[in-house]
Each structure stands twice: as C-alpha cells, then as structure tokens.
Chains A and B, each alone.
Chain A
Amino acid sequence: MTVLQMQGVNRVHGEGDNAVHALVNADLSVEAGELVAIMGPSGSGKSTLLNLAGGLDAPTGGDVIVEGTVLATLSKKRLAALRRRHIGYVFQDYNLVPSLTIAENAALPLELDGMSVAKARRIALASLEEVGLDAKLADRFPDEVSGGQAQRTAIARALIGERRLVLADEPTGALDSATGEDVLKLLRRRCDEGAAGLLVTHDARHAGWADRVVFLRDGRIVDSSAPLDEPESLLERAE
C-alpha cells in the first residue's frame, strides 16, 4: 500500500531572476513497510523534499499525496490534523519541546488531538518502551537525558498512535556512531512492522539500512536504486 506519493513535484523559491529551483519534477512513492533513503550533496533539495512530504512546505507544482489525501487540497487546520495523525518527524537535533517531559513529548500529537492526558500518557509510555526507553525516564525533561535517549523519544513521538509515515532528517547527525546505529535499527524495525519511512542522510552506511536509495542533485532525482554494499559508487556514477 502506498503511504506517500509525490507526482511531478516542484518547489521554486523567489521569482524571476532570483528564482531558485529547490526541487524539480520529483516523482517518488513510499510503500508501507518500506524505508527509503534520500542522499545528495548539500543544497540538493533533500530537506525540501522531506518538508514537502510532511506538508510543512507547499509545492509550487505537482501533488503530494499522503495515504490517499492530496495535501494541497487541505486547509491549514486539516493539514495540521493530518500531520498529528499520520506523519511523524525525526530531526537531527532531537527537537523535543523543552518544557514537556519525555512522556509528554511522545504524547504531544495525541494531546494536540484532544486525547485525555491520562490516556495519552499510557500510549506514550508504551511507545517509549517500544523504542527501548526505561519508564523511569518518562518524567524527565529533555535536557536531563542523553542525545540517544532524546532521539529515541523523537522516534517514539514520530510513530505514536496510528502514524505510519516517518520522515527522518539526518536523525543520527548529533549522535555517536553506536547510538546512531541503534536509532537506525529502531527505524528499520518500525518500518518492518508496517510503517513507511523516508530517511535523509549524508552517510552511505546509514543508507544501507534502507530498502531503496534516491539520489538528488540540484533539485532533481538523478537516480534510484537498491542500496549497494558500497553506496558511494552510486554517487560517483551520478557525477
């Protein structure tokens, strides 16, 4: 089942001579249970693609479809509702709300959706357990836990409830290699359990955890392939 579909998506910043084409005619689909890695040099449009997929940014052309819904047809309010029910984000620098505890951060989408605090907490605790976080950490604040624990919390939040699309933007960038590896395993496991994942990374080794690797250069998808043992060779080929 296709969870994310991008059809001829364009994103242009600015106008006239100042126009910058951040993404050009991008076509991409991600199925349930699939983890797709996005690779490319800086400024190639990786984050733009991710933001468009999550409805944080709007395309200047083409359609972004999440679980059958064309994002462009949604109001801001419904778009926000779609994000909290279907899409989860994981960022490089954790991005937890500092004034909420670990459990509350994980439960944030549910509480925003109107769920009672107690019920949202129960689900959040289960979600934290799934990502391997000790329940004792649940009531700590983000600045009281390690980077790896914070990122696990972000993943727990990204996949809490019925959410099936995880958008991860360099999720291991601020972590040491061992912790980063754990996080990617976790992401892989969640995709294996039925979620769809989009992983932006610079690191070919991390891309090795994906089912497919999509290469971007100057806003265009230049290639798409199953990950190789030596993914760097794909980059060389693209050049």
Chain B
Amino acid sequence: MFSRLRLAFRIARREALRYKGRSALSIALLGIPLLGVSLAATAYDTMVLSDVETTEQRIGEADAFVRFDNEGVPIVQHTWHDRWPWTEPAGPGGEWQGEEVPESEVLAALPSGSTIAPYSVDGVGSGIRVETPDGIGGIQAAGYDLSDPMYESAGLEYLEGEAPRGEQIVISKAAADHLDVGVGDTITTVDDPAEYEVSGIVELPWALNERYAVGAVFEQGAGGWLVDTPETFTYEDALALNELGMSVWSTPLAADPPSEPPVNISMGDSFAMMIYGLIVTVIVVEVVLLAGPAFAISARRRSREFALMSAAGAAPHHVRNTVLAGGLLFGVIAAVIAVTVGILAVWAAIPLMEGLFGHRSSGLQVMPVMQASMAGFAIATGLLSALAAAISASRINVVAALAGRTPQRRTGKRWPIIGLVTVAGSMAAGFTGVTLWSMPLMAAAVIGLQLGLVACTPMLVSLVAKLGRRLPLAPRMALREAGRNRGSTSPAIAAIMGVVAAGVAMSLTVTADNLRHQANNVHELPQGALSLRIGSPESVEDTTDFDQAYEKAAQSLSRHLDDLETRPVTVFSSPSCGDWTDGAPPEGCLLSYELVRPEEHRCSYWSMDREGEEAEAAAVEAARGDPRCDETPHTFGAYSDTPGSTDPVVTAAYSELDGGALDEAVALLESGGILISDEWALTEEGTALIRLNYATEEQEGSRQETRELPAMVVDEGLLGFNQMFLGPAAAAELGLEESQLSRLYLLESSTEATGAVQEAIAAEFEQAGGGDYWVSFEVTDYTNPFSFYVMLVIAILCGVIALGATAVSTGLIIAESKGDMTTLGAVGAEPKVRKRFAMWQTVVIAWLGAGLGTVAGLVGYALIREAMNRNLKHVYPFKVLYGWELPWVNFGVSLLAVPLIAAIGALVFTRGRLPSERRVT
C-alpha cells in the first residue's frame, strides 16, 4: 500500500521538478486564492481587535471608563463587552430623567483613594477651526489636563516633546502633518482667535489618523471619566456607579462579563456557521475550477506515460493515485507558501494597515488553528482539483495513447444534457432556497450552476466552432481547434469562468454595499457638483444683504476657481409663522408639506392589521413581496425647504435629464408642474399629491389639505429627502415662498476643487467676513474611498488571475497543437500564422470564459442578494436593501481588457518559428 503510494509521490515529485513552469503555475493557481484567504485571515486577526483588546487599547491601564447613560437614575447594565453597553432604567417603570450628578458624587461612589479624569473613548474633544498652510481647516480639540498621569496610563504617548504647560498644547501626528507644524511651533485658532505653542506630538493608539489638539486651554469636550481605583476594579464598583446612572467599560469586566443580557444579541452560531460554510464551499469550488484545468491538461499531455504504466501492469487506481499525488503535493506546497507569504506580508504591512484602519494592531496574530485549517483546505483543494484529471487519466484508451492517437470524440449528448439539467436544477434550488431561507440550498445552487455551465462548455465550444466557417485561416483554425480539443479548451474556459464569476459576484456585492452606504446620505445633487450656500441666522425681508454677501463670496470664489459660472437655485419654504414664543404656531400657519402616494400605490403594510407580533410579522412578510413597499426610513417626513428653478441647467443638475426629457421637464415646471423622484407617487392622471400641514387652534396635530399638481418622475436617486423639485408656479400654488434664511447657487468651474482649494476658499471667506451671514462652499461627494479600493483590488486580482489562466491554458493548448503547426509549416505557412492562431485561441477561451463567468456571477449575486436582503427585511420600512448596480468597470476588465491583453500577449510571446517534432522519450 505505502510502497504504491510512495511510487505515486515519487513520480509526482519528479514530474513537478521536470516541468517546473507547469508546476509553478499549478501551485500558483492553487496558492493565489489561498494566499488571499491567508492574508485576509491574518490581517483580520491582527487588525480587528477583540473586545478585551479594544478595551485595553482605548483605556490602557486605567481601571474603567464611565459615563452617564441616565444621569441620577439607577440603571441595569446588561452588557460589558464594548463601549456602548446595553443599559435600562432599573426597576419597573424606570424613567430616563434624573438630576445632575456632580463629579464629587462619582468619586464618592468609588472606593476610597480612587481618582477620575475627564476623557472620551469615542473621539477626541470637539471641532475647532484653525489656520492651515492652505487656508482654514478643522481639527478636534480636547481640554484635558495632561499633567495628570492617568492620560499616559490610558495610552496617550508622546512621540516628540513633552506635556503642555500653561497655554501650551500637544497635537497628534496627523494634525502636525496637516498643519505642517512641529514642537515649538504655534497653531492659530480661528473662531476664538489665539495662538498656542505646540509642546509635543502625541499618539492615542486608537486614533492614529485623527487630527486633534489637547491642552487645558480648550473646552473639555469629554464624554465621561477614566477611573483609577486603588485595588482591582470589581463588579461591585460597577454596580455602585450604575446606581448613579453611569455605564461602565472595564477591561476585567469585558474579559469576564458579570451578567448576561436577557436576550441573545449575537448572531446565531448555526447561522454564522452556515455563512462560513457557504463561503468556504464557494472558495473551494472556485479554486478547483481554477486549478483543475492545469491538472487536466497536464494529465492529457502525460496520457502516453499513463498508458505505458498500464502496459507495465498499473491498475486504474495506480494511475489515479499518480495524478492525485500531484494534486496533494501541489496542495501542500501551495499551502506552505500561501500561509508563509500571507503571514510575512501581513507582518510587513502592519504599519500600512494601522494607517488604513486608524488604530494600532494587537501585534501579529497568526491564528494557528486557522492556518492549520488553511493547510488542510489547500490539500483538500489540491486533491479535488486533480480528481477529475485523475479519473480521466485512469480511464484512458491505452492502445490509442500508446499509438499516439487521440481517440475519435463523439459529440456526446450526455454531458450537455447533464449540464442543462444541473443549471435548471440549480436555479430551481436557488429560488427554493431563497423562499425557504435555506442556506444549503442556496450554496448548492451557486455551486451547481457553475458545474452545470462547465458541463455545458464543450457543447458551447462546439457550437462556437461552427461559426468559423467564413473566417480567415487563423481564427477559423482557432475556433475549430477549440471545438476539436474540447477536452483541453473546456477546462481552461471553466478556470476563467470560475475567476470571473467570483469577481462579478464580489464586485456586485461591494457595489451594492457601497450604494447602501451612500443611500444613508440622501442625494440631491450629482456627484462632484459644486455649490455655494449663504445663510442668515434669522429671516430677512430685504434680500439686498443676501445679494451683497453673494457678490463678496463670488469674488472670493473666482480667485480660486477658474472660469467660474454661478446659477441661483430658488429654495422654497413654508412662509414664516412668526414668533413662537408661547410654544405654538399661529392658527392656519403652513408648517410643512410632503409628497404622498395615492391610496392604491401605498405599501400593503400600512393598510394591514398590525396589532400583535404575529400580525406585524404577517404585514412585514406581505410587504416583502409587494413592489410598492420600496420605502425606506428616509422616505417619510415632511420638510420645509425644497429647491426649484426653471433654468434648464439647474433642472438638469437636479434631475439628470437631458434632451427632449429635459425640455419636457422645464416646460412642466414653467406651467406649474413639479418633478418627483418617487415613481409610486405619480397618479394615473400624471399628477402628484402634496399634503400641506397647517397649525390648528387646538395645537394638537394639524389641519391637512391635499393639492394635486402635474408631475413628472425623474431619477429616484436625486431630489433628496423632499423627493420634489418645484417651479415657481407650483410653489405659489402650494403657498410656499422663497426662503428668507438661505440662498443656494450651483457653481461650474474648470478648477478641480481639491482639499487645498476648499481650505483656501474657507480662509478667503473667513478673511472677507460675511457679516451676519454664513457662507459655505461645498463639493458634493458621496463616494466611499474604501469601497473604491476594494473594487479596484477585486478588479485587478480577477483580471490578473483570469489573464494568467487564459495565457497558460492557451499555451498548453498550443503545445498540444504542435503537430498541426508542423504540418502548417510543411505546407508553407508563414511563422506569423502560429502567432495569429495563438491570439485567436486566447480570444476564444477568454471570451467564452468571461461570458459564462459573468452569467454565473450575476446569478450567484442574485442569490447572495436575496440572502442578504432577507436579513434586512425583518421590520418595515426595510433597511436599505442590496440592489442591482452593475460594476461596468469590472465587466470591462473581464470582457474586454483581459481578452485584449491576453491576445496581445499571445501575439508578442508566442514563438513564430514553427516547431519540428522532437524525440519522444
């Protein structure tokens, strides 16, 4: 038994050494995804701190951080692991109101000899404005007395200089870099003009990127206190503070929580295991699809060797073991390299990651169990990757292989049928899984779909090959060769499909996640739009001052923004209801207005009986399947400021309409209509309903009136919370007036509004002085840089792997076609034929792989999306759901860039010289 396995491993090892390039490729294909997992796992364990590590980092050696949750009213603290504990008022009917508790009482509640110091664990103080090298910018400032040693024991470290004395301050390194100051220099505050000498550069390990200054000269800005007790901080100490209404965050209590929350607040273990299981399964499938073809093609090239072994008496299992030994060997090597490189890379990148995460790491943490699992995972993946090739090798036609013939391939219908049935079955399993909320079914669907497509690949290749009839020689041969050598082409296509599918699904998920993030900032203006706002602290009747403020601001702007053009946007608001000194608006005053949907367009949830948990759950369930139920928490609310204009440029900026649609919108606005962003708010008559809320005599609730105005639906991503854009006629119809509190202008300039430009403009505004008016220059930016970098990494990674898989697979196929190339040479074909042949082979493989991968990725994301959204639909209005925003850049990389680069690579790197047969040994 062991002797036979030894033989298999010996052959595998020698084969690996004989064909170093091919071996390196297989190891790379197995190892790169594992390296990604190893990097992610090590980086996660190193950078994502545990509850106890977080506590230690935020409060250092201090015994606890305490703050008022419910000043003066006893509370019950249920959780102890993080800085925002779950607390409730103690006793039945507890109230959230109490009396102010002086600092002395806090000290009195602690053991004798304890000390406290004001501190915040969420940020450093509050914002102030300071002069920057470019103009004026903001930093945080905290008024801690750093002569108290508690701050240093809490983690404050002096990188340079010393503690401040008198009117000195210390600043963070990020602030020092931004303000370009060092120890001994001064910084100048703007709102409360003063100059302060910098006595030191400091670091808080949890706020590396924060720009802040600390000194007794600033307002305290603390959210609570650091506590130092003479003995170990105990649960009893915490209870005493809870009695004052204070929550406690302490390292020993975070490590060993003294009480459990009344309900489980963590994600269920089984659910988490299911998610992890799904991720691991999908990664295994992708890696197998990626690395499998290298083994398949390699096994095909070794078919004569296997036939020879059979002739010498090797049974099928001997041949199988030989191929599997290769998989095992490569798996082990890939695991060792991936884990080692992963750990070393994370170790080297710790400073970089600390900068990205904005906090210090807990030191390199390698998760030995995880790394051991990785090794097992790699070995299993290597074996699985080689499995299909091993089975295929053990079934070779010995006679044909010995004679050097490729057995006649029939266009079997079995695999395409199996493939189509698998694809159909997977789709059904996916939708059933979503309906029944069964993660295994969804996982099976994702995997089955890809395997089904793999099974269909030979049929697709064969079909595509038939398209080549009228093409020139090189593409015709490439297509037919792809069809003829389906055994080699299909695995290569499957490899690219696996990479692209994973990339498409990942990038769709990240894009959708980014959009969900953005959805929390309701959009009003397009990305990158520049605007100027001028505000008044109180209503003004005379707009002359506004005009003067605008003129001054425009002059300041034009000094920094070239080719400046400004366009006023009218802000319509409810007319002033006068002075509410008695706490109530006058009768009949227009308080607010809101867009409402016609009854038939309202979500079914609102009309259902929702008394009791079951009825509520049933209403939420019904809402899940109702397309009208697309409201979010942002949908609701009555607002009092709405932009409006009949200027086509301004209208286009808000609506993103153009051409005939823009003309139509402007005409509508001029004739008394409005633009709306909620498609369900449009009635069948093409109108929208606006509810006007007036103050009533009883001062309870409000009198309501509904007006109906002609309307047009525009991009729902814009128009902000109001979901409306008005023309002057519509505003008049609604009884709205031009705002007497603020002015808004859209700006256009050829200058890029960088951070430095913005700071310079802020300084210019400050210098010019706005009198009673405030003036602000704003750049609309919804982007999330982190998500952008994630997308970039995904696109590059998938592109590189797909490119590698394409190039190598093509190379192996071309090597198989050497006989044909020799024949071509013999009949007088020019060397460039070989280059063109290689190029077209590459294009066929890359396009088919990327096309199928895109389909698989889209379907995979559809299932992931359903699974994710399911979790977000427990209450109505639903949280912002994962939607469909296609990542065109990633599609472009997969479908255009990869085939193009691979084709160019094939042209450049394929040897033009036609080969001659070499001796077979």
Contacts and interface: CB of A to CB of B under 8 A. Distances in A.
A143 interface: yes
Interface stretch (A1-9, A82-90, A129-137): A82-90
A193 interface: no
A81 B398 contact: no
A117 B315 contact: no
A93 to B, nearest CB: 6
B842 to A, nearest CB: 29
Interface string A84-127: 11010101011111111000100011011111110000000000
Q: Which of B14, B310, B398 has most A Cβ within 10 Å?
A: B310
Given A77-B315, A104-B10, A142-B921, A98 B305 contact: yes
A4 B714 CA distance: 88
A114 B6 contact: no
Contact of A81 (B305, B315, B920): B315
Contacts of B239: none
A112 B314 CA distance: 6
A217 interface: no
Contacts of B15: 99
A224 interface: no
Contacts of A94: 921
A51 B920 CA distance: 21
Given A84-B314, A99-B15, A112 B7 contact: yes
Interface in B370-416: 398-399, 402-403
A239 to B, nearest CB: 26
A81 B921 contact: no
A180 B713 CA distance: 91
A57 interface: yes
Contact of A56 (B318, B399, B921): B399
Interface residues of A, number: 38
B313 A81 contact: yes
A112 B313 contact: yes
B604 to A, nearest CB: 65
A107 to B, nearest CB: 9
Interface in B270-314: 304-305, 308-314
A93 B918 CA distance: 12
A69 B224 CA distance: 93
Interface residues of B, number: 29
Contacts of B920: 93
Contacts of B6: 111, 117
A56 B398 contact: yes
B309 A97 contact: yes
Nearest to B403: A47
A157 interface: yes
Contact of B313 (A83, A98, A142): A83
Contacts of B18: 98-99
Contacts of A99: 10-11, 14-15, 18, 305
Nearest to B318: A112
B1 A85 contact: no
Contacts of A113: 313
B403 A111 contact: no
A92 B309 CA distance: 16
A202 B311 CA distance: 22
A112 B8 CA distance: 9
Given A56-B310, A77-B315, A91 B921 contact: no
Contact of A143 (B4, B316, B921): B921
Interface string B2-22: 011011001100110010000
A219 interface: no
A91 B7 contact: no
Given A111-B4, A112-B318, A114-B4, A91 B313 contact: no
B11 A89 contact: no
A80 B310 contact: yes
A189 interface: no
A150 B398 CA distance: 21
B312 A89 contact: yes
B402 A95 contact: yes
A213 B304 CA distance: 30
Interface string B212-251: 0000000000000000000000000000000000000000
A113 to B, nearest CB: 7
B847 to A, nearest CB: 36
B94 to A, nearest CB: 78
Contacts of A148: none
Contacts of A87: 313
B819 to A, nearest CB: 15
A80 B14 contact: no
Given A91-B402, A100-B14, A80 B316 contact: yes
A54 interface: yes
A185 interface: no
A54 B14 CA distance: 28
A83 B921 contact: no
A85 B14 contact: no
Nearest to B395: A76
Contacts of B403: 47
Nearest to B308: A95
A138 to B, nearest CB: 15
A109 B281 CA distance: 40
B706 to A, nearest CB: 82
A45 B826 CA distance: 30
Contacts of B1: 114
A96 B921 contact: yes
Contacts of B309: 97, 108, 112
Nearest to B317: A77
Nearest to A52: B399
A118 B726 CA distance: 93
Contacts of A150: 921
A95 B314 CA distance: 14
A131 to B, nearest CB: 16
Contacts of A108: 7, 309, 312-313
B313 A85 contact: yes
B399 A51 contact: yes
A111 B7 contact: yes
Interface in A204-223: none
A76 B315 contact: yes
Contact of A84 (B305, B312, B317, B398): B312
Nearest to A86: B313
A109 to B, nearest CB: 5
Contacts of A97: 11, 305, 308-309
A116 B7 CA distance: 10
Nearest to A169: B402
23 contacts: A56-B310, A77-B317, A80-B310, A81-B313, A83-B313, A84-B313, A93-B920, A95-B308, A96-B308, A97-B11, A98-B921, A99-B18, A100-B11, A111-B3, A111-B4, A112-B4, A112-B7, A112-B318, A113-B313, A115-B3, A117-B3, A117-B6, A143-B921
Ranked nearest first, the 8 interchain pairs of A and B with the lowest CB-CB distance are A84-B313, A99-B14, A80-B315, A83-B313, A89-B311, A95-B308, A109-B313, A111-B7
Given A100-B14, A112-B315, A117-B3, 15 more contacts: A51-B399, A56-B310, A57-B398, A76-B315, A80-B310, A94-B921, A97-B305, A97-B308, A99-B11, A112-B7, A114-B4, A116-B3, A117-B6, A143-B921, A157-B312
